[in-house]
């Protein structure tokens, strides 16, 4: 990570966390347990990648760094992401006891609180988006999260476990489970800057390419990386019989594909010139994790 | 139920179901399983009480019966309600195998699909509200569903099981778990008819009183009613050690309170005159179930 990017990521994460602190109900508010599990999961060490992409996209379209509406959206997208992790980790899904070295929500609290706490973050995030006042963003985000997006990817991911799957299925899972919400974050940054249709279209494509690259690189690191690089146990996907890119295409093709996706992401944002510099750096950073 | 009300309820249910048919992804659309569980749960014999209240409130404020936006909202509120039931029924919560004589979602499908299918209905419903184009309704509904409303009630309900609770706690549970979403349905009908602040305020109060009455009557029937009247096994709340009104206040006080709530609901809608007739009939019907 370049110093430039490191500083940027740190600044976005700090501003997002401050916004989240203000938006999430305090832990002492009745009923205490659900507010505790919400905050526990939101502040469990997430890297705030979606907020970084949202803010960088916002700036690429002429928006101001730290714009209040953009920060509210950053917080909302991080809530959506955390909601999905809380439900993914449940015993009836991926059955993960740890995430980033900390007990998952249902281990630290109860299964009921992990379900309801996830529900609450999702619902609260829609409330935050509503108070920004843009129904277009709410409508798009609901589509990105629903069965034609993130949840669809999650269903196929679960149903593909321990089954022989083809490349098309893995692409479907990554495209929906991971890339759909990343694309929506990038699009939201653009829409809040009142980007042109052409700009939004290019950033949409960038979001898809970066989202897919992010997941393919994650798959590669699961095979080759260290637990530290990955933020979770290396090899855990294979142990669970997860459909991954290397498992269907081999390592060489996976790396070639990741490189191609990053090149496409770079091409998508070329017309933004200097204003798109951070988006290019973010894409490059994903690639450096495997090179 | 008067013939008048019976016909009205049947007409609203039919129009809501037709709207739902158009809004929910077809079962054949990939990934099939989640679309199946969504439709299975949505068409499992719900009485469409929230849509009835929404439409009656809409008309009380001068809206047209069967107005397209009101019907979209009816469908959305029924999705929110079904989402809550799917998660409530999970093994880690109420652990119910049957609802209205049919296997619950996690029994007919899998636990993972009950969680994700519930998530999908909630998210899809927000998308439907967004396409109506009213951020005020989305913001209010998110608050009604969140930890200051329905989910808060659900948490306290679960945490009160097998514990000695007081009347205040039971009122909190009923106020939030049941009445909050009912009140939001009634308010939404008013807001879509561009009701005055005064009208919306009165209907808000009506929604709270009817919502509480509905739940108190349900508690009474759980003790005294037949399984048919109740739509679920009589006595099941007691068996689960649920916090109910009769268990903290006794049967006589519960009946007195239900009567008081219905009278308050009637008073709330008195100024609406003839246009509020259906709201009065709906309130009275709740009461006839125990008288």
3-state secondary structure B135-156: HHHHHHHHHHHCCCCHHHHHHH
Residue positions counted in chain B: 291
Name A148's Cβ contacts closer than 8 Å, sequence gap at least 6.
A176, B25
- Percentage of the residues of chain B whose pLDDT score is greater than 70: 97
**Residue B112 and residue A122: Cβ atoms within 8 Å?**
no
Indicate if the pLDDT at residue B231 is higher than 70. no
Min Cα–Cα distance to chain A from B252, Å: 30
Q: What CA–CA distance (Å, rounded) separates A122 from A120?
A: 5
pLDDT of B191 above 90: yes
pLDDT of residue B291: 74
Residue B101 belongs to what H/E stretch?
none
- Measured over the CA atoms of residue A37, residue A40, residue A41 and residue A43, the dihedral's sign is positive
Chain B residues inside the 8 Å CB shell of A122: 119, 122-123
CA–CA distance, B78 with B73 (Å, rounded to integer): 9
Q: Nearest-CA distance from A127 to chain B in Å?
A: 5
Judge: A158–B35 Cβ closer than 8 Å, yes or no.
no
Contact at CB, B115 and A90, closer than 8 angstroms? yes
B99's enclosing H/E stretch is strand B98-99
Distance from CA of A37 to the nearest CA of B (A): 12
Over residues B123-142, mean pLDDT = 98
Q: Where are the beta strands (DSSP E) in chain A?
A: 98-99, 102-103
Contact (CB<8Å) B119/A87: yes
Question: What's the number of domains chain A is made of?
Answer: 1
Share of residues in chain B with pLDDT > 90 (%): 87
pLDDT band with cut points at 50, 70 and 90 for residue B135: very high
Whether the pLDDT of residue B234 is over 80: the answer is: no
b/e string for A207-235 if b means 16 or more Cβ within 10 A? Answer: bbbbbbbbbbbbbbbbbbbeeeebebebe
Out of A112, A143, A159, closest to residue B158 by CB: A112
Q: Please report the number of interchain residue pairs, chain A to chain B, with beta-carbon separation below 8 angstroms.
A: 138
- B206 pLDDT above the threshold of 70: yes
Phi-psi region of A250 (alpha: psi -120 to 50; beta: other; left: phi over 0): left
DSSP state of A273: G
Helix (H) or strand (E) run with residue A177 in it: none
Chain B residue with Cα closest to A110: B92
- Report how far residue B225's alpha carbon sits from residue B219's, in angstroms, rounded to the nearest whole number: 9
Its domain, for residue B123, covers 3-288
Convert the pLDDT of each residue in B6-43 to its tens digit: 999 999 999 999 999 999 999 999 999 999 999 999 99
The tens digit of pLDDT for each residue in B141-156 reads 999 999 999 999 999 9
Angle at alpha carbon of residue B243, lines to B240 and B244, rounded to 5°: 105
Give the tens place of pLDDT for each residue, A217-235.
Answer: 999 999 887 766 666 667 7
Are the Cβ atoms of A126 and B115 closer than 8 angstroms? no
- CA–CA separation, A46 and B47 (whole Å): 42
Tens digit of pLDDT per residue, chain A (291 long)? 778 999 999 999 999 999 999 999 999 999 999 999 999 999 999 999 999 999 999 999 999 999 999 999 999 999 999 999 999 999 999 999 999 899 999 999 999 999 999 999 999 999 999 999 999 999 999 999 999 999 999 999 999 998 889 999 999 999 999 999 999 999 999 999 999 999 999 999 999 999 999 999 999 999 887 766 666 667 788 888 888 999 999 999 999 999 999 999 999 999 999 999 999 999 999 988 877
Mean pLDDT along residues B58-64: 98
Angle between helix A245-269 and A277-288 (nearest 10): 160
Cβ contact (<8 Å) for B31 and A158? no
Question: Which chain B positions have a beta carbon within 8 Å of A116's beta carbon?
Answer: 87, 151, 154-155
* Cβ pair A126:B138 closer than 8 A: yes
Q: In this structure, what token pair is assigned to residue A77?
A: 């997208």
Asked whether the bond before B61 is cis by omega within 30 degrees of 0, the reply is no
Is B138–A154 a contact, with Cβ atoms under 8 angstroms apart? no
- Mean per-residue pLDDT for B125-147? 98
Residues 6 or more apart whose CB falls under 8 angstroms from that of B223 comprise B234, B235, B238, B244, B246, B251
From the list A19, A39, A36, the residue with the least C-alpha distance to A28 is: A36
Non-local CB neighbours of A286 within 8 Å, separated by 6+ positions: A210, A213, A214, A217, A262
Contact check, Cβ <8 Å, A131/B139: yes
pLDDT at A2: 77
Nearest chain B alpha carbon to A95: B112
Which of A120, A129, A142 shows the shortest C-beta gap to B146? A120
> Cβ contacts (< 8 Å) between B145 and chain A: which residues?
123
Chain A residue with minimum CA distance to B31: A152
Helix (H, G, I), strand (E, B) or coil at B76: helix
Residues of A in contact with B31 (CB under 8 A): 147, 152, 155-156, 159
> Is there a contact between B112 and A92 if contact means CB atoms under 8 Å apart?
yes
Q: What is the ipTM of this complex?
A: 0.97
Residue A111 · residue A91 · CB < 8 Å = yes
Residues of A in contact with B113 (CB under 8 A): 155
CB contact under 8 A, B115 and A93: yes
Nearest to B147 among A120, A129, A156 (CB): A120
* DSSP secondary structure letter of residue B102: E
Residue of B nearest to A176 (CA): B31
What's B232's domain CATH number?
Answer: 1.10.600.10
CB within 8 Å: A142 and B124: yes
Q: How far is B183 from chain A (nearest CA, A)?
A: 17
Q: Look at strands B102-103 and B98-99 and give their pairing.
A: antiparallel
Chain B residue at shortest CA distance from A30: B152
Chain B hits for A93, CB-CB cut-off 8 Å, are: 112, 115
Q: How far is CA B230 from the centre of its chain?
A: 15
Q: What angle do CA A197, A198, A203 make, to 5 degrees?
A: 95
Judged by CB atoms closer than 8 Å, whether chains meet at B112 and A131 is answered as no
The residues pairing with A99 across neighbouring beta strands, listed in sequence order, are A102
Q: Which two tokens stand for residue B4?
A: 């008048």
Chain A positions in Cβ-Cβ contact with residue B87 (cut-off 8 Å): 115-116, 119
Enter the pTM of the model.
0.97
Mean pLDDT of chain B: 95
Q: Name every residue whose Cβ is closer than 8 Å to that of residue B267 and which is 6 or more positions away in sequence.
A: none
**Residue B225 — very low, low, confident or very high, per pLDDT cuts 50/70/90?**
confident
């Amino acid at each position: 990570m370049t110093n430039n990017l490191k500083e940027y990521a740190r600044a976005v994460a700090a501003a997002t966390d401050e916004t989240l602190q203000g938006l999430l109900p305090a832990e002492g508010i009745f009923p205490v347990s659900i507010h505790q599990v919400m905050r526990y999961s939101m502040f469990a060490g997430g890297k705030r990648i979606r907020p970084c992409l949202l803010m960088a996209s916002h700036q690429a379209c002429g928006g101001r760094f730290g714009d209040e509406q953009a920060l509210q959206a950053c917080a909302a997208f991080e809530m959506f992401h955390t909601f999905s992790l809380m439900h993914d980790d449940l015993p009836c899904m991926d059955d993960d006891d740890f995430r980033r070295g900390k007990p998952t929500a249902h281990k630290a609290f109860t299964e009921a609180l992990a379900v309801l706490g996830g529900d609450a973050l999702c619902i609260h995030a829609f409330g935050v988006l509503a108070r920004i006042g843009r129904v277009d963003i709410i409508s798009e985000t609901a589509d990105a999260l629903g069965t034609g997006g993130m949840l669809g990817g999650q269903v196929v991911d679960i149903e593909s476990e321990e089954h022989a799957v083809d490349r098309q299925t893995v692409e479907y899972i990554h495209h929906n489970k991971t890339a759909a919400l990343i694309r929506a974050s990038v699009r939201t940054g653009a829409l809040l800057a009142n980007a042109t249709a052409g700009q939004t279209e290019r950033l949409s494509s960038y979001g898809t390419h970066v989202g897919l690259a992010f997941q393919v690189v994650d798959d590669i690191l699961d095979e080759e990386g260290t637990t530290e690089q990955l933020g979770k146990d290396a090899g855990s996907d294979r142990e669970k019989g997860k459909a991954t890119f290397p498992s269907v295409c081999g390592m060489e093709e996976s790396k070639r594909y990741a490189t191609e996706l990053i090149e496409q992401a770079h091409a998508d944002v070329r017309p933004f010139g200097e204003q798109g510099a951070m988006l290019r750096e973010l894409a490059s950073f994903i690639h450096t994790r495997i090179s």
